[in-house]
Chains A and B, each alone.
Chain A
Amino acid sequence: MSETATPAKTDQKRAINRLKSMYPLRNIVQQDYIDTLKASSEGKPTVWSMLNYWEGDLPLKAMGLNIVYPENYATLLAASGAAEPFLDASDSDGFPTHMCGYGRSTIGYSYRMMKEHGGKIPPDAPLGGMAKPALLLGSGIICDARFKWFQSLARYFDAPEWCLEMPMMATYEGSEPELEDYQVKFLVKELKDFISFLEKLFKQKMDWAKLEELIDLAVKIHETTSNISEARKAIPGPMHATDFWSSMPPSLFFAGDMKVALKCYQDMLAEVQERVKNKESGINYPERYRLIFAELPPWHSLKFFDKLAEMGWNFVFESFGYHNPKPPDLSKYSDPCEKLARLSRNFMFNVFPEAKAEGIQNPIVETYLKIARGFKADGFFMHPLISCRAASCSLRTVQHWEQEKLDIPSLWVEGDIIDKRVFNPQEVLARAEAFEQTMDHYRKVRKSKGLDW
């Protein structure tokens, strides 16, 4: 008992059994920053883009533009422990401190670049930093505040901004089948305007053939990654959440060369399937509990998951917002913009039929119910963020329905994606043993109710 409660510090064995196939994928995004920087030193433009669920990524890549993702860069800032001076700079420029950690990092980065270093990259920026943007590609998808903070960057840069549109998916109304074509029509119009703007801005034509090719690659990548997710349902869980977080950029925003990425994901799928065959776990300790992580991870404290792994806590799935669903069949459409529109729109609409069947109002709840069933979860690790409305506001409801419908308890741990100053690992560890008893209890309850885990 006491061993599980206080993991021996002397234990040298890596607690998490990392996938070999994860490393090349992690390198892709890091290489991307280096290449982009090099390109900009050769006078090539750099685009700052927000996570846009592919409708923006692919046109930009088809035109051979170099893209960086400040949201992703913020996670690197946090992971390398370099975030604070950037957060403080944002606060000093008058932005409220309860704002998104990604936003505060990027605003702070831009402030320091333009106001403190005369347009040069701050010396303490990891991976060489992000070059000045030639275009700010904003988006309000899954979070309204996002386009607002890209809009605010106009304080520092004279780069033009474009805000991508996406119908709100998280509603019954939005999911009405009769609305699909009208939503797609809207997206197609937007995409055509966007692409013609790109052509005007960068004085080059869109390579439509290339775009088609990339859309096909995107579909293949997403097929592979959703197969990986499927394979992860095995017991013991073959792939730990931290491996997913390190390897997601090439599928989340298609970082790097998509052909290379596809190959890497195919390797990853093979390795995961191999593990499933051999009943090899994602942690180097017996899998005592299967946990789901919701929603965005504490990028500054990922090591913290080793401690939990040592206690036999296997994080078998995580962050639904970072996972692409199985891609739709696009073969019957000819217009690349329409293909793209349907690929992006697919991100969350596919949840609804089930949600309706179950009488659930909130698609995020439904998504997590599906995940919990599929992965036979013992518990949820809820990580509400002090600085993020979008990823936090539904967690209470998720907690409620997981408990209500599946008797799966939640461990509630407040924190932040970037600002480690509000996260207290000691606290969590002090509660871990009690939560194990809670998970034990509800295992019994589920069995008594005829659930099979």
Chain B
Amino acid sequence: MVTATTKGLSRAHEIYANRGRRMRELRKSGKKIIGYICLYPPVEIITAMGMVPFRIFGDMSEPITAADRVSTTVVCPFLRSIIDLGIKGKFDFLDGAVGAHTCDIGMTTIIAWRDYIKDAPFTHLIDVPHTDHAPAVDYFEGQINFFKKHIEELAGEKLDQDKLKQACQLHNKQRKLVRELYDLRKSDPPKLTSMENLEVMVSLFSLPVEEGNELLEEVIKDVKERSIKSSQKKARLMVWGPVFDNTSLYELIESSGADVVVDDTCVGTRAFWADVKAPYDLHALAQRYLVDIKCPRTYRDTQHQETERDYDKDLDSRFSYIKKAVTDWHVNGVILQSVKYCDTHGYEVPNLRHYLDTLGIPSIYIEHDYSERSLAPIKTRVEAFVETLG
């Protein structure tokens, strides 16, 4: 059923450049396309209902104009961009839009969608608790169940347990393949640039899971065959932070004499590191999304019920996965990037930098307003950071 003319990385490049194209084809063929914002709506359920999940991103090269009428300027420009594109009719191929309370603005984005965006008549908002407490996981399971019921109404049929199991396994397979792909960046130099990697990641959010897996297999095959020449680059960097769906930042970094070898963002590892565990039921989904996804939006209560708090122990239990990535990918510097006005990430910055200091890993914090050209002033800082590493 794949109508692709190209394969592997070149196909990823095509899809990255025109995310809507494949979705429109599928919609013509009668598929329902369900857009979703951020990582928390469980795509497994959408897939299991025979619909196509499509991750809604913004557009860094499109100045935000229409959104000014409906949102204040002091909120997440990424989400403002989504509202802006929506009002401008760029999501006309969606049958539905699903959001989650990943943060206050994430929630109001769906609310604004209902008020101001014509496309996607079906909308649903999933409440995500703030903590990973056991009762919160049960509550979140209830939220997923409520979402399931709502989408069953849209589909006019009930969710089949086996279909859900298959969907979970398909998405788990995709996660496994992504981790394989990331392994190919452990070498020096990495076999895959961060730009190429991002184009693949964005493609995965723009394709049905089966097609995504197919694409991944092609890419992994191609990339494995690549021969490594010795690296001229001074630094192997990790990029941390909220959604970054555009290659521009990675181009900026890699043109500053560094390789980006791994990331902790929700268009990369955060989206694919955690699997849904057997028995692939709603509780397993709740566990995967609320507890196993490592986004600062959740208060991971690492010393729950303890009557004393140890700052360093807390940091270690919150960030040890970053330590592991730093070791496994031989990272010698971390770039913390955040979109302006992102509170959940902003409050994390001083603590994470402190943690990296204790590991002896230099880091730098850069903030942008989710527009390609707001990156220009950042270039010098990134270059200087690389110079201090060299």
Contact = CB atoms under 8 A, between A and B. Distances in A.
A/B: CB atoms within 8 Å of each other: yes
B346 A95 contact: yes
A96 to B, nearest CB: 4
Contacts of A385: 74
Size band of the B side of the interface?
Answer: 35 or more
A367 to B, nearest CB: 13
Contact of B350 (A94, A98, A190, A200): A94
B346 A96 contact: yes
Nearest to A100: B343
B191 to A, nearest CB: 36
Contacts of B305: 193, 197, 200
Interface stretch (A23-31, A298-306, A388-396): A388-396
A160 B310 CA distance: 9
B112 interface: yes
A386 to B, nearest CB: 5
Interface residues of A, number: 61
B351 A155 contact: yes
Contact of B107 (A94, A157, A165, A171): A171
A144 B341 CA distance: 13
Interface string A161-192: 10101011011111010010011001001100
A159 interface: yes
B75 A99 contact: no
Contacts of A103: 347
A154 B347 contact: no
A8 interface: no
A384 to B, nearest CB: 5
Contact of B308 (A160, A171, A193, A394): A160
A287 B354 CA distance: 55
Nearest to A412: B72
A389 B289 CA distance: 24
B351 to A, nearest CB: 6
A98 B342 CA distance: 9
Interface string B316-343: 0000000000000000000000101101
B307 A152 contact: no
A171 B130 CA distance: 16
Contact of B303 (A99, A160, A396): A160
A350 interface: no
B340 to A, nearest CB: 7
B365 to A, nearest CB: 8
A148 B135 contact: no
Interface in A354-402: 361-362, 384-390, 392-397, 400
B129 A165 contact: yes
Contacts of B115: 361-362, 397
A138 interface: yes
Given A99-B346, A144-B130, A389 B75 contact: yes
Interface in B261-306: 296-297, 299, 301, 303, 305-306
A167 B127 contact: yes
Contacts of A235: none
B107 A170 contact: yes
A186 B135 CA distance: 6
Given A96-B367, A159-B309, A163-B301, A392 B142 contact: no
B114 interface: yes
A36 B269 CA distance: 47
A389 B102 CA distance: 14
Residue among B124, B143, B314, B343 with max Cβ neighbours from chain A (10 Å): B343
Interface string A135-162: 0001010011101110110110111110
A201 interface: yes
A172 B314 CA distance: 36
A144 B297 contact: yes
A163 B130 contact: yes
Interface in A78-110: 93-96, 98-100, 103
A138 B299 contact: yes
Contacts of B196: none
Interface string B99-130: 00101110110011011000000001111111
Contacts of A361: 111-112, 114-115
B314 A99 contact: no
Contact of A96 (B108, B349, B354): B349
Contacts of A138: 299
B193 interface: no
Contacts of B306: 160
Nearest to B146: A173
A168 B40 CA distance: 15
B353 interface: yes
B347 A152 contact: yes
B350 A144 contact: no
A190 B133 contact: yes
Nearest to B343: A145
A140 B103 CA distance: 10
Nearest to B138: A186
A402 B297 CA distance: 32
Contacts of A155: 311, 350-351, 354
B71 interface: yes
A165 B133 contact: yes
A396 B104 CA distance: 15
B107 A386 contact: no
A148 B345 CA distance: 9
Contacts of B365: 94
Contact of B310 (A158, A174, A392): A158
A42 B125 CA distance: 49
A406 B124 CA distance: 28
A151 B311 CA distance: 10
Contacts of A201: 307
A344 to B, nearest CB: 14
B136 interface: yes
Nearest to A186: B139
Contacts of B69: 396, 400
A149 B350 CA distance: 11
A393 B105 contact: yes
B299 A163 contact: yes
A394 B75 CA distance: 10
Given A94-B349, A165-B129, A362-B108, 18 more contacts: A95-B346, A99-B346, A140-B130, A145-B347, A147-B299, A148-B344, A151-B347, A160-B306, A163-B299, A173-B126, A189-B135, A190-B133, A361-B114, A362-B112, A384-B74, A389-B104, A392-B74, A397-B70
Nearest 5 CB-CB pairs, A to B?
A: A145-B343, A140-B130, A189-B135, A94-B350, A148-B347
29 contacts: A94-B350, A144-B103, A145-B347, A148-B347, A149-B347, A151-B299, A154-B309, A160-B309, A163-B299, A167-B127, A167-B139, A170-B107, A170-B111, A182-B139, A183-B139, A186-B139, A189-B135, A190-B133, A200-B305, A362-B108, A386-B74, A387-B74, A389-B341, A389-B343, A393-B71, A393-B75, A396-B71, A396-B72, A397-B71
